[in-house]
């Protein structure tokens, strides 16, 4: 069980997850070159689920066993892991038998991904410049990116949201909104 | 009758200015907290507790009780208008509420949810008033084996949630269940799948996951469509508020869901979300047109809302009659009472009837106030649906971020919310529904801990030797198998 | 683009000014010159939160300092402790602590409580006790022992999570009394009490204050040297011949990060002493079965160290 101890956290975990990603890459590469090319996502999703279940399964081997008359901590998660494997295999078989539709078309994926990046940046900036500045950047920048140009609405909405979050969350509900590391460093 | 005269005294107590203000303020704050993703009813109540220190115990309880009632309704507003359930139990409301909005009928969704919530809240309160003592005695007798059976019964609803995509629905539920095992195991105390990170000791918090799976994933999907000039609804007709007859058609659904919701609310640890899922499933199965559920059937909205609002009355049963908190919100209420040196329990009815009966009266009045404010407010809420998406979508993201932060004041929660959002978007796009993940996360601990607790207390045979447990388990098997078989029949035809 | 810049600048200015209220000059004339944050490891509305807010309420009678209660819930206090650990030891961050935190640290963390924190004020001693349902046949401690022997390990003791303070206390009581039983963990103390009311088990391990207002519950025995004045009819384990569990208590108090200046701690000592003698404080907490005390850092740190060692031993570490 020393192996499990190594794989369950820190560098061992990173190595383990890296390996799983590599396996996924190989799987995608193989499907792309096969006759099921148009079903890539239909197959990749169950494969990802099985990989997640596999990671959990390996870690689960390190759990202590239950004594007589008790159900140990590993039993129930193991049940769910088996379930994930079973249904993933059913889904893959359905694709191979031709019972599945082709992959859905991607829409305007660029906008969606850009917005995900915006949201992540928002969270990061919030920790350095504080909640309010980050929110201003996010809301104004976000609407601007979507080609919205009504400045009256953009500014009043942003200012209104700032005042609302300050009064309702910070003042009334005592939610300690992030002050920002840089800001508190400057202001002491 | 003693009870009735006490109740009359209770109503008399409400005559002053202070109680009236407490109810109105409580209902307004409750609706707002409920509509705000991230502020669940329990948090709405908890965050207001410090303000009640200086108030009398009666006024405190009236204020907090009004918030509790109204918050359960408030969650449905954002669920219907922008597919962002404000509370966990409103997930179920969004199943049919949001499709109604997309069909250009947000008024039907909003109106139905308000009426069902009000009626459900009143029925729950009436059951609380008349039957709290005997029902509470019954509730504590419920053995872990029976809780386990109840959880399995709830999980069986996945079969009907999935429809044609049943295998995907099951995978989604299993993922939710597996996610739910992350954290310190409540039975043995060992760490499971925490990856050495103390932030995972309690597992993933439900509310940020919920906001991610529903609100964020919806935003990302809309971005991908990139038809952002208009609102969710291009325009809606003025006259699309339901008529009295439309509501009257839902009377049996609302009545049945309210009773079911109250009963489930009584059992410590079950709660509003399970009540909503179960009564939705029951409504769907007993409907003549089950195929219209999930596509904008007002019955679905009514079932979910009546159940989650009536569960409030149920949850107060063990609190008042036994002094035992059965839900997160009632645990906060008990704390608030103890500040005022009021100890809930059977003696409370004898020693402080003023507190108990003024609360009962206040809950009834709060439902009426909620109806009035809700009717007026709905005219405002409905406008949300015509806000251009270029403005609405960034705003939903901003609301979601602050909402998931407010749960534990934790950046980790916000990050996991974004993670769930991305996953939810990709899953939904490929036909994996998000609702079973939530169901798995809600029911996973209930099922697992009660299963293991039951075995600890009486061995494996308890599940079949206890009549309630075996009946519930058989019902679960049936509700599991029937939709699957119907699917098979439909697809072979 | 120009408009965008102006708008961003304008609102940035507004948002910076929102902070100006919170930030103040950093001169160290005398403690405290800015608000003190009291970190609470339970959620808003929880028992610890209520106690902390009561403390703040009373403390503000004796000092002009502003206290801000901040909830950092999660992982039984580890989230709060990790947070306090990450903040400068200037005394402006005070932390509400209980003995439960120590059992959590011993069980699930590598953090050493006395190496990271200075435990400056222990304020309450709440003895552990065994509670029974007096509508059953097993009410007194003698009956519990007889029942346990008859059931040979299958007697059910209900309580909160496994490996927690109550669980360890129960195991120590079993050992001292020479009995065997099964611990049935529930999601919370409240749910375990519901199950005891439903006669699903024989005892519940908790504190005497938990029976107030609940006529079906009796305290079988309490873990103390002498009887509690608030519960004069309840025997102690010592009287009943069960020795070695007189110190099974839950304490509540306050800690700061290790390295906080002595002058600051002296300021706190003075404040805690005043709160300890406050009528409102006594009237609120004495009737619940607490012993109200004020142990300062030397004694408290020693207690924490011993408790920590005891838990490490109990968990076989």
pLDDT for A62-101, tens place per residue?
888 777 678 899 999 999 999 999 999 999 999 999 888 8
| 3 state SS for chain C | CHHHHHHHHHHHHHHHHHHHCCCCCCCCCCCCCCCEEEEECCCCCCHHHHHHHHHHHHHHHHCCCCEEEEECCCHHHHHHHHHHHCCCCCCCEEEEEEHHHHHHHHHHCCCCHHHHEEEEEEEEEEECEEEEECCCCCCCHHHHHHHHHHHCCCCEEEECCCCCHHHHHHHHHHHHHCCCCEEEECCCHHHHHHHHHCCCCCEEEECHHHHCCCCCEEEEEECCCCCCCCCCCCCECCCCCCCCCCCCEEEEEEEEECCCCHHHHHHHHHHHHHHHCCHHHHHHHHHHCCEEEEECHHHHHHHHHHHHHHHHHHCCC
For CATH 3.40.190.10, the residue range(s) in chain C are 129-222
The confidence score (pLDDT) of residue A17 equals 94
The confidence score (pLDDT) of residue B481 equals 80
Alpha-carbon gap, residue C101 to C106, rounded angstroms: 9
A151 interfaces chain C, CB cutoff of 8 Å? yes
The confidence score (pLDDT) of residue B132 equals 84
Tokens standing for C202?
């024989």
The confidence score (pLDDT) of residue C22 equals 43
β-strand pairing of C117-127 with C291-295: antiparallel
Q: Residue A132 and residue C68: Cβ atoms within 8 Å?
A: no
Number of domains in chain B: 1
Alpha-carbon gap, residue A148 to A158, rounded angstroms: 14
Please tell me the least confidently modeled range out of A34-38, B50-54, C59-63, C211-215.
B50-54
Alpha-carbon gap, residue A154 to B391, rounded angstroms: 8
Please check whether residue B57 is in contact with residue B344, taking contact to mean a CB–CB distance below 8 angstroms: no
Q: What is the mean pLDDT of chain B?
A: 87
| Cβ contacts of B469 within 8 Å, gap of 6 or more | B143, B145, B146, B148, B149, B462, B463
Please tell me the least confidently modeled range out of B272-276, C123-127, C299-303, C305-309.
B272-276
- Chain B, 372 to 401: residues with Cβ < 8 Å from chain A are 388-391, 393-395, 397-398, 401
Please tell me the least confidently modeled range out of A139-153, B317-331, B391-405.
B317-331
Nearest to B378 by CA among B16, B89, B109, B70: B109
Q: How far is C56 from chain A (nearest CA, A)?
A: 15
Question: C206 pairs with which residues across the strands?
Answer: C129
Contacts of A138 in chain B (CB under 8 A): 394, 397-398
Sheet containing C156-159: order of strands: C182-185, C156-159, C203-206, C129-133, C217-222
The conformation of residue A70, written as its DSSP 8-state character, comes to S
Long-range contacts, C274-278 (Cβ 8 Å, 24+):
C274/C59, C274/C62, C275/C55, C275/C58, C275/C59, C275/C62, C275/C123, C276/C123, C278/C58, C278/C61
B192 sits in which H/E element: strand B191-192
Please tell me the least confidently modeled range out of B23-37, B375-389, B404-418.
B375-389
- pLDDT tens readout for residues B286-305: 888 888 998 999 999 999 99
Q: Residue B223 and residue A108: Cβ atoms within 8 Å?
A: yes
Contacts of C199 in chain B (CB under 8 A): 141
Omega of the bond prior to C32 within 30 degrees of 0, cis? yes
Please check whether residue A142 is in contact with residue A118, taking contact to mean a CB–CB distance below 8 angstroms: yes
Q: Report the residue of chain C nearest B321, measured CA to CA.
A: C214
Q: Residue B46 and residue C45: Cβ atoms within 8 Å?
A: yes
pLDDT band with cut points at 50, 70 and 90 for residue C94: very high
**C75 alpha-carbon distance from chain centroid:** 14
A73 interfaces chain B, CB cutoff of 8 Å? yes
- pLDDT tens readout for residues A11-29: 899 999 999 999 999 999 9
Chains that touch C (3 or more CB pairs under 8 A): A, B
B491 interfaces chain A, CB cutoff of 8 Å? no
| Cβ contacts of C145 within 8 Å, gap of 6 or more | C177, C179
pLDDT band with cut points at 50, 70 and 90 for residue C133: very high
Q: In the predicted model, what is the mean pLDDT of residues B152-165?
A: 81
Q: In whole angstroms, how far apart are CA C197 and each of B136, B137, B285, B342, C229?
A: 10, 8, 36, 20, 26
The structure tokens 């209220």 sit at C21
Q: How far is B287 from chain A (nearest CA, A)?
A: 29
The confidence score (pLDDT) of residue A49 equals 97
Q: Which of C11, C14, C26 sits opposite A188 (nearest CB)?
A: C26
Question: C204 pairs with which residues across the strands?
Answer: C131, C158
The conformation of residue A39, written as its DSSP 8-state character, comes to G
Please check whether residue B287 is in contact with residue B293, taking contact to mean a CB–CB distance below 8 angstroms: yes
Q: Residue B339 and residue C50: Cβ atoms within 8 Å?
A: yes
Please check whether residue B445 is in contact with residue B186, taking contact to mean a CB–CB distance below 8 angstroms: yes
Q: Given a cut of 90, is residue C49 above it in pLDDT? A: no
Q: Report the residue of chain A nearest B32, measured CA to CA.
A: A168
Q: Report the residue of chain A nearest C153, measured CA to CA.
A: A69
Sheet containing C117-127: order of strands: C67-71, C36-40, C93-98, C249-257, C117-127, C291-295
Please tell me the least confidently modeled range out of A40-54, B42-56, B161-175, C90-104.
B42-56
For CATH 3.40.190.150, the residue range(s) in chain C are 35-126+250-314
Please check whether residue B186 is in contact with residue C185, taking contact to mean a CB–CB distance below 8 angstroms: yes
Q: Which of B181, B188, B224 sits opposite A109 (nearest CB)?
A: B224
Please tell me the least confidently modeled range out of A96-110, C27-41, C203-217.
C27-41
- pLDDT tens readout for residues B452-480: 999 999 889 999 999 989 998 998 888 77
Alpha-carbon gap, residue B373 to B69, rounded angstroms: 13
Phi, psi of C292 (to 5 degrees): -95, 125
Alpha-carbon gap, residue A145 to A173, rounded angstroms: 32
Nearest to A118 by CA among B216, C83, C58: B216
Q: Given a cut of 60, is residue C229 above it in pLDDT? A: yes
The confidence score (pLDDT) of residue C258 equals 95
The confidence score (pLDDT) of residue A24 equals 95
Please check whether residue C145 is in contact with residue C177, taking contact to mean a CB–CB distance below 8 angstroms: yes
Q: Which of B409, B411, B456 sits opposite A175 (nearest CB)?
A: B409
What is the residue range of B146's domain? 2-492
Classified as helix, coil or strand, B400 is helix
Q: Which of C3, C19, C26 sits opposite A183 (nearest CB)?
A: C19
Of 3.20.20.70, 4.10.490.10, 3.40.190.150, 1.20.1250.20, which CATH number belongs to C35-126+250-314?
3.40.190.150
Alpha-carbon gap, residue C73 to B410, rounded angstroms: 9
- pLDDT tens readout for residues B10-28: 888 888 889 999 999 999 9
Q: Given a cut of 60, is residue C18 above it in pLDDT? A: no
CATH of domain C129-222: 3.40.190.10
pLDDT band with cut points at 50, 70 and 90 for residue B242: confident
Q: What is the mean pLDDT of chain C?
A: 89
Q: Which DSSP string corresponds to B425-482? A: HHHHHTT--SHHHHHHHHHHHHHHHHHHHHHHHH-TTHHHHSHHHHHHHHHHHHHHHH
Tokens standing for B199?
């932030």
Please check whether residue C225 is in contact with residue C246, taking contact to mean a CB–CB distance below 8 angstroms: yes
Q: How far is C119 from chain A (nearest CA, A)?
A: 25
Cα-only R_g, chain B:
22
pLDDT band with cut points at 50, 70 and 90 for residue C3: low
Question: C127 pairs with which residues across the strands?
Answer: C249
The confidence score (pLDDT) of residue C24 equals 41
Is A135 buried (19+), middle (13-18) or exposed (0-12) by CB count in 10 A?
Answer: buried
Q: Of how many residues is chain C composed?
A: 317
Q: Which residue has the higher pLDDT, B161 or B300?
A: B300
pTM as predicted: 0.87
Cα diameter, chain C: 85
Please check whether residue A50 is in contact with residue A88, taking contact to mean a CB–CB distance below 8 angstroms: yes
First-last CA distance in chain B: 61
Q: Which residue has the higher pLDDT, B40 or A133?
A: A133
Alpha-carbon gap, residue B405 to B205, rounded angstroms: 11
pLDDT band with cut points at 50, 70 and 90 for residue B418: very high
Tokens standing for B145?
């084996």
Q: Which residue has the higher pLDDT, A120 or B134?
A: A120
Tokens standing for B435?
């609702």
Provide the ipTM: 0.95
Alpha-carbon gap, residue A37 to A20, rounded angstroms: 21
């Amino acid at each position: 069980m020393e192996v499990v101890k190594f794989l369950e956290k820190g560098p061992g975990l990173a190595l383990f997850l890296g390996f799983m990603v590599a396996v996924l890459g190989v799987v995608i590469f193989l499907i792309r070159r096969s006759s099921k090319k148009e079903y890539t996502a239909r197959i990749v999703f169950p494969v990802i689920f099985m990989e997640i279940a596999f990671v959990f399964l390996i870690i689960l081997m390190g759990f202590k066993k239950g004594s007589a008359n008790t159900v140990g901590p590993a039993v129930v998660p193991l049940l769910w892991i088996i379930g994930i494997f079973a249904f993933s295999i059913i889904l893959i078989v359905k694709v191979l038998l031709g019972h599945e539709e082709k992959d859905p078309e991607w829409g305007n994926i660029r906008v969606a991904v850009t917005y995900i990046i915006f949201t992540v940046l928002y969270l990061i900036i919030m920790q350095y410049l504080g909640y309010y500045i980050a929110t201003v950047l996010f809301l104004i920048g976000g609407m601007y990116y979507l080609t919205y140009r009504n400045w009256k609405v953009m500014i009043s909405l942003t200012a209104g949201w700032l005042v609302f979050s300050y009064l309702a969350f910070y003042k009334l509900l005592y939610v300690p909104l992030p002050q920002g590391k840089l800001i508190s460093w400057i202001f002491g | 009758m003693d009870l009735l005269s006490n109740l009359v005294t209770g109503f008399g107590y409400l005559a002053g200015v202070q109680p009236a203000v407490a109810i109105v303020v409580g209902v307004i704050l409750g609706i707002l907290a409920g509509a705000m993703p991230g502020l669940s009813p329990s948090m709405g109540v908890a965050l207001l507790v410090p303000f009640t220190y200086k108030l009398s115990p009666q006024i405190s309880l009236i204020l907090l009780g009004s918030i509790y009632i109204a918050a359960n309704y408030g969650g449905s507003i954002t669920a219907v208008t922008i597919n962002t359930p404000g509370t966990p139990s409103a997930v179920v409301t969004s199943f049919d509420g949001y499709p109604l909005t997309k069909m250009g009928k947000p008024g039907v969704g909003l109106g139905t949810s308000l009426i069902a919530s009000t009626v459900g809240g009143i029925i729950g309160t009436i059951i609380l008033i008349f039957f709290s003592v005997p029902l509470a005695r019954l509730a504590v007798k419920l053995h872990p084996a029976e809780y386990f059976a109840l959880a399995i019964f709830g999980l069986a609803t996945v079969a009907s949630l999935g429809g044609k995509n049943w295998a995907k629905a099951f995978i989604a539920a299993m993922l939710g269940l597996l996610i739910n095992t992350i954290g310190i195991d409540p039975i043995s105390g060992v760490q499971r799948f925490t990856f050495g990170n103390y932030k995972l000791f309690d597992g993933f918090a439900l509310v940020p996951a919920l906001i991610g799976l529903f609100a964020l994933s919806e935003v990302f999907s809309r971005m991908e469509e990139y038809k952002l000039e208009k609102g969710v609804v291009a325009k809606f007709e003025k006259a699309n508020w339901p008529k009295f007859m439309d509501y009257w058609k839902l009377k049996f659904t609302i009545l049945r869901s309210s009773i079911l919701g109250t009963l489930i609310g009584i059992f410590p640890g079950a709660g509003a979300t399970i009540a909503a899922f179960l009564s939705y499933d029951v409504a769907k199965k007993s409907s003549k047109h089950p195929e219209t559920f999930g596509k904008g059937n007002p019955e679905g909205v009514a079932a979910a809302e009546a159940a989650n609002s009536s569960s409030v009355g149920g949850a107060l049963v063990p609190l008042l009659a036994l002094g035992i908190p059965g839900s997160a919100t009632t645990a906060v209420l008990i704390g608030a009472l103890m500040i005022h040196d009021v100890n809930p329990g059977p003696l409370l009815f004898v020693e402080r009837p003023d507190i108990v009966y003024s609360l009962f009266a206040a809950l009834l009045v709060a439902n009426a106030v909620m109806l009035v404010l809700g009717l007026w407010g709905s005219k405002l809420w409905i406008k949300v649906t015509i806000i251009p998406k270029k403005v609405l979508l960034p705003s939903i993201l901003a609301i979601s971020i602050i909402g998931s932060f407010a749960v534990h004041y934790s950046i980790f929660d916000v990050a996991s919310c974004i993670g769930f959002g991305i996953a939810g978007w990709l899953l939904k796009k490929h036909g994996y529904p998000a609702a079973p993940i939530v169901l798995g996360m809600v029911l996973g601990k209930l099922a697992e801990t009660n299963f293991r607790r039951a075995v600890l207390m009486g061995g494996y045979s308890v599940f079949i030797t206890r009549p309630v447990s075996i009946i519930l388990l058989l019902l679960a098997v049936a509700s599991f198998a029937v939709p699957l078989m119907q699917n098979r029949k439909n697809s072979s035809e | 683009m120009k408009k965008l810049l102006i708008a961003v600048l304008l609102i940035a200015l507004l948002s910076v000014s929102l902070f100006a209220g919170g930030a103040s000059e950093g001169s160290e004339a005398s403690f405290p010159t800015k608000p003190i944050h009291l970190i609470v490891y339970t959620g808003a509305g929880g028992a610890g939160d209520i106690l902390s807010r009561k403390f703040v309420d009373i403390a503000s009678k004796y000092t002009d300092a502003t206290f801000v209660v901040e909830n950092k819930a999660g992982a039984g206090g580890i989230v709060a402790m990790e947070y306090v650990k990450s903040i400068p030891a200037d005394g402006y961050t005070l932390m509400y602590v209980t003995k439960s935190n120590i059992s959590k640290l011993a069980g699930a963390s590598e953090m050493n409580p006395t190496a990271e924190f200075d435990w400056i004020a222990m304020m309450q001693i709440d003895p552990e006790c065994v509670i029974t349902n007096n509508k059953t046949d097993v009410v007194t401690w003698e009956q519990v022992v007889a029942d346990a022997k008859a059931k040979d390990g299958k007697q059910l003791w209900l309580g909160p999570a496994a490996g927690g303070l109550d669980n360890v206390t129960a195991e120590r009581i079993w050992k001292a009394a020479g009995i065997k039983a099964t611990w049935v963990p529930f999601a919370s103390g409240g749910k375990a009490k519901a199950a005891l009311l439903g006669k699903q088990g024989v005892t519940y391990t908790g504190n005497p204050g938990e029976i107030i207002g609940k006529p079906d519950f009796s305290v079988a025995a309490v873990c103390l040297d002498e009887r509690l004045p608030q519960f004069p009819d309840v025997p102690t384990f010592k009287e009943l011949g069960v020795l070695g569990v007189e110190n099974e208590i839950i304490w509540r108090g306050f800690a700061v990060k290790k390295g906080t200046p002595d002058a600051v701690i002296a300021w706190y000592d003075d404040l805690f002493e005043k709160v300890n003698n406050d009528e409102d404080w006594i009237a609120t907490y004495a009737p619940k079965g607490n012993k109200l005390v004020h142990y300062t850092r030397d004694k408290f740190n020693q207690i924490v160290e011993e408790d920590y060692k005891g838990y490490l031993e109990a968990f076989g570490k």
